[in-house]
Amino acid sequence: MKKNQNEKCSHFRQWKSGKKWLYSATALALLVGGVFSLNHEFHVDLPVSHVSADVVNATQVGSLNGQPVVKAQSTDMGSSSFQATVDGLLKNANLDGVKYVADNISWQPNTSLNGGVPLSSFGSAARFNLGQDGFLKTDLAVPINVGQNLIVMNVGTITNISTNEKIPVSLKMFYSGIEHGNDGQTNQNAIIGVRNEGSTITFGAVTPVSGTATSGGQTESGGGAGGAVGDGSLVGFINKIRTNIALVRSDNGQEIPNSDIIMAMKVSDVDANQLIELGANGALGYILSPNSALSVYGGGLRSTSSGASISDSGELTDNSYVVLKRFNTSLMDTTYLDGANNHIDLVWAAFGKLPFKVNVTGTFKLDKSLVSYGDTMPNSHYNLQPIVFDIYDNTGKDVGDIVVPANGKPVESIQLPPAEYTLKERSSSVTSSTGQTLNTNTYKVTVVGGKTGDNAPLAKADNQIVKGQIELNKVDKETGTTKGNGKADMASAKYQLFYGEDLASHKKDEPVKWGDVPDKPIELLRGTKVDSYYADGKLVTVGDNIVVDVSDSDMNIGLKGLLLGKYYLKEVDSPVGYTLDKSQIDVEVKWQDNKTINAIMPVVKSTETPIKAKINFQKIAEISGGSASSGFNDVKFNFTPLEGVGKVITAKTGINSNGDDGYGSVVLDYNDYIMEEVPETSPKGYDVIKPIYIHMETDTKRDVVIITASYKKDFSNPFSTHEYYQSDNSGIANENISGSVAGTITSEVPYISLAPLRLTDKETPLPPLPSIDVEKSSETVPQAGQGNNSDKDDNLGKGDADTKATAIKLGNKDQAINFRIANNGAETLTHIKVSDKTIEGKKDVKNIKWTYKDKDLSINKDGEFELDGKLLELQADEFVTAVGTLETLPDGEMHGDEVSVSGIGLTSAKNVSDKDKWYGKLENKPSIDVEKSSENITKSGDGNNSDKDNNLDKGDADTKATAVKLDDKVQTINFRVTNNGTEPLSHIKVTDKTIDGKQDVKNIKWVYQGKALTINKDGEFELDGKLLELPVDGYVEATGTLDKLDGGETHADEATVSGKGAISGKTVGDKDEWYGEKPKAPDTPKPSLPMTGETKAKFAGLAGLILIASVAIFVKRKSIAKLISRLK
């Protein structure tokens, strides 16, 4: 390498050995009989051009052979900055097929010139003149002529980038001739020496001549010299030398093929006015030092500095450059451009130790596919685009990415330096359009320099496709659950799956098959796979089509492993007791996210319409002898279900649309029933009908629903039968139906029926039978029961309380108990006795007083009722009543008592009796309620913080959304605190807190029964100086005021109350909010008002000013001035 610019100013070369100058300029001139001169040129800065994307840490200053010429930022070729510049120039280079990198070409310890002899062997002229440029007499040289080669043996190694093998090479030079200076010679032979100059391979050339000696010449260093020296040997002037150089294998001498190698060559010793041209083939870029003395000239780079130096190092000097080439054989011509034509030698250097690396890039290919599918997409909901893989180097740095093509074919990466890389699928690129899950694996791939295209290494990655899971739940249309009424059973419903869109492999409305998913059959999660079923009475064989019978337990079906897309389910066989659901139940299997491989879709629902039976009947009473009959109204019939879920349905006869009596109808669930006449509602003196057994069944093979009516419990020998065709919408005619069909059952018309039933009661005179009934209740007793110990529990409803389960919840007070004894038979009763006995608890019902038609009854020594001293005779439908008292029970105690009554029929002398129980229990449950409203408060809420918002409706305003719209006045706010529990309350505290706005509710005054309440130091209500004890259902009230609000202002406050149960000691509380707002008034223009007083004066003044201004326009300036002066 050359020294720095200051060293160049010496204009002389030093001996490599470090000896002093051999000759002074004067002595040398005298020796050769001539004079010498120095050629001075000023350094010219090269222009700066735009930095391209491939120029890194450098400035592009031109181009040569179509490639960039750049100035590096640093002269240190071992720096990271310089390495980046080299990498940048190679980044986009086409290095396909590169096998070798010339990464160690320099003077080696065993380097020699093949066939070379010491320079001293060629006479003093060659030795002396080349010696002026640093050559020693021991350095080797060879004579050469045009067309001959010289070989510098063992100049280093090249690296096989595939195997990392180091291959020794030599440098072969092909000599093409010279151009003479002004020496009158034409010979082309030369002497070329080779030496080590700081690891560079330095060449020196002279041309031997014969004849008259040249004089006044100069060596490359600029020193004067003559052509003949010492022994009379002569050398001529030389302006240019033409050569080609190439690397050859040292073992066999074969040239490295041009397309197989890439190299970095340092060209140095480009001295004053010297041009070195390299061949354009394979050039990739040229790197100069930051203060380079070189510029582009013709096909090479020339130096514009003066003088020369021969030292070299790891620094890139101003008179050297680096060329990057993908070519072996290279033209290397060296030319003087100063026009002196008197240069005796030419010296130039190539290669040398380079501390940077030539990173040969390569590529890899990525083959992306789907597991089990390869490059073939399952359907149009799957795609390999826009999937992207990020590329990371071995430091974890992201160095690029690779986009997977839609066709899934292997895709080639960007050019990369040889190394191992990690591929990772980019999460954000695996979107819904791909239909895939993210592949979280990482893939290693090793890029080999020069291996690209089909030779590039291949990385394979595959993704799992997303499939879906669907579920359908069946529910009864009436119950909204999986259980219907009656004996209808949804468990036999069957559904088929169809495609809901056109796809490449399937058309819309085609049935989906179990095997339609190639990698794995669709999986059944819930329900039962169906092989065949009956549709419209005909057997349908399913084959591989997906048909599923719903799960018997959960009434649902579930399928897993469906490809993404649109589908629909359709019921193909209706269940027993239901019509067919004709709706198309759409379901779409959608991608959810790139982590979920089994996308569970929302459950869809199928609603089943139950079959109903319409029963029409007429109640007729036939007079004895059959001479006349009449329909009877208000006769009740009970329809009691015999199976499944259901309750007794009661129908009553009445007048039909034609005005006929005795008609009734009922709609029954799909079930079996017993139809019975309610005796108590039958016409007196007539017998009731025999029970009728109504039976419904479905023949699933024939798809027929049958309803019958029979007097037999086993439904045999029916006296009425109807058959109905149940449609499955298959489009197949039902060939199994014979005879007449009453109708077709569909979801629109889900009814079956019997022929109208004629129900006739025969007149049967019956002897009068005595009957007695006793009822007991905490409510008023409205009517008699069945009597004679035949009543059901709680037959009177509210207050009857015949069982512990229906015990009355008592308060902390005495409870009145009502009794009623009725003659509900057809015969007068006498000898009536009654007793009441406590059967649970410690307290009895006391003070029971019996009356008959508002007269007190007495009881004789036999315990029988007397009226006015005589036995009471109670006529049919008459009754006696009594009221007793049950004292307040202890907390938690259950009370039960039983009243018994007996009597004797006056005519038949038959004994009859009845009894009735009653239960009650005291459970102290304190509760308190606070309400707040802008309206009057007339009731309490549920209390204990359980009220819903706005439970009092108007004025309650518990939320912002229901805020009361306030006007321009003070608003009255009403409060009410109520004891709505079962025990008295004390220690009652109330607070009211503003929670929104600036205004508080003020002047809140509390009263109880018209008396003002006070508040003690603990914040508790007191009345007459004592703690207030608020009885059950008692309440206190208050009013407060809210000052008027500004427009747009809002207000909210919250009242909070607490109290303690006087018996249980439990603390309870409640709170209530109230919101109000003053709407913002809209902007309105001020009205025009009649002008009076001051307003008129102001208007007149304004008019005057306008008049003065108008007049002033017509007055000259001087007049205006005078007028103003007067006004002052």
CATH number of 898's domain: 2.60.40
Q: Is residue 658 included in any domain, yes or no?
A: yes
Does any domain span residue 488? yes
pLDDT score for 630: 78
Q: What pLDDT is recorded for position 335?
A: 95
Residues 647 and 537 in one domain: no
pLDDT for 352 beyond 80: yes
Q: Are residues 448 and 521 in the same domain?
A: no
Q: Kindly state whether residue 1085 falls inside one of the protein's structural domains.
A: no
Q: Which of 385-399, 770-784, 1000-1014, 1031-1045 has the lowest mean pLDDT?
A: 770-784
Residues 393 and 527 occupy one common structural domain: no
Which of 255-259, 423-427, 467-471, 501-505 comes out lowest in average pLDDT? 501-505
Same domain, 22 and 155: yes
Under 8 Å CB-to-CB from 522, ≥6 apart: which residues?
A: 512, 514, 515, 516, 546, 559, 560, 561, 562
pLDDT band at 31 (very low <50, low <70, confident <90, very high): very low
326 and 237 fall within a common domain? yes
Query: What CATH number corresponds to the domain at position 559?
Result: 2.60.40.10
User: Does residue 36 surpass a pLDDT of 70?
Assistant: no
Average pLDDT over residues 493-513: 94
Could you tell me the pLDDT band of residue 1126, with boundaries at 50, 70 and 90? very low
Question: What tens digit of pLDDT does each residue of 224-275 get?
Answer: 444 444 576 899 999 999 999 999 999 999 999 999 999 999 998 888 889 9
Q: Tell me, yes or no, whether 360 lies in a domain.
A: no
Q: Are both 424 and 505 inside the same structural domain?
A: no
- Does residue 476 share a domain with residue 408? no
In a domain, 355, yes or no: no
- Could you give the CA distance from residue 613 to residue 653 in angstroms, rounded to a whole number? 18
Residue 1008 belongs to a domain: yes
pLDDT surpasses 60 at 223: no
CA angle 174/325/401 to nearest 5° reads 160
What's the token pair of residue 163?
A: 């195997």
With contact defined as beta carbons under 8 Å apart, do 750 and 579 qualify? Answer: yes
Task: Please indicate, yes or no, whether residues 850 and 908 belong to a single structural domain of this protein.
Answer: yes
Non-local (6+) Cβ contacts of 1075 within 8 A are 957, 958, 959, 960, 962, 963, 964, 996, 1050, 1051, 1052
**pLDDT at residue 911 is higher than 50:** yes
| 514 close to 501: Cβ distance less than 8 angstroms | no
Spell out the alpha helix ranges (H) of 3-160. Answer: 5-8, 25-32, 80-91, 124-131
Q: Count up the domains in the chain and report the number.
A: 7
Angstrom CA distances, 158 to 86, 100, 155, 634, 867, stand at 18, 6, 10, 118, 141
Tell me the residue range of the domain where 1107 lies: 1101-1127
Mean pLDDT for the stretch of residues 338-345: 92
Residues 778 and 892 in one domain: yes
- Mean pLDDT estimate for the chain: 85
Q: So what's the pLDDT on residue 736?
A: 65
| Helix, strand or coil, per DSSP, at residue 683 | coil
Question: Of 706, 735, 762, which one is at a domain's C-terminal end?
Answer: 762
- Is the pLDDT at 1112 greater than 60? The verdict is no
Closest CA to 412 of 446, 377, 458: 458
Question: Residue 1128: is its pLDDT beyond 50?
Answer: no
pLDDT of residue 715: 93
pLDDT of 16 reads 30
> Is 1121's pLDDT higher than 70?
no
> What CA–CA distances, in Å, run from 376 to 467, 508, 509, 514?
16, 21, 24, 20
Does any domain span residue 147? yes
Give the C-alpha separation, 412 to 404, whole Å.
9
Same domain, 996 and 1018: yes
Q: Is the predicted pLDDT of residue 527 greater than 70, yes or no?
A: yes
Model confidence band, residue 667 (pLDDT cutoffs 50, 70, 90): very high
Q: How does pLDDT run across 790-844, given as a tens digit for each residue?
A: 888 888 888 888 998 898 888 788 999 999 999 998 899 999 999 999 999 999 9
Q: Which of 762, 793, 815 is the last residue of a domain?
A: 762
* Domain assignment of residue 1083, yes or no: no
Single residue among 407, 432, 463 that ends a domain in this structure? 463
CA neighbor of 489 nearest in space, from 510, 474, 499, 502: 474
Residue with tokens 């007067």: 1126
Are both 736 and 811 inside the same structural domain? no
Task: Give, for 888, the enclosing helix (H) or strand (E).
Answer: none
963, 1067: one domain: yes
412-459 per-position pLDDT tens digit: 999 887 889 999 999 999 999 999 999 999 999 998 877 788 888 999
| pLDDT at 756 exceeding the cut of 50 | yes
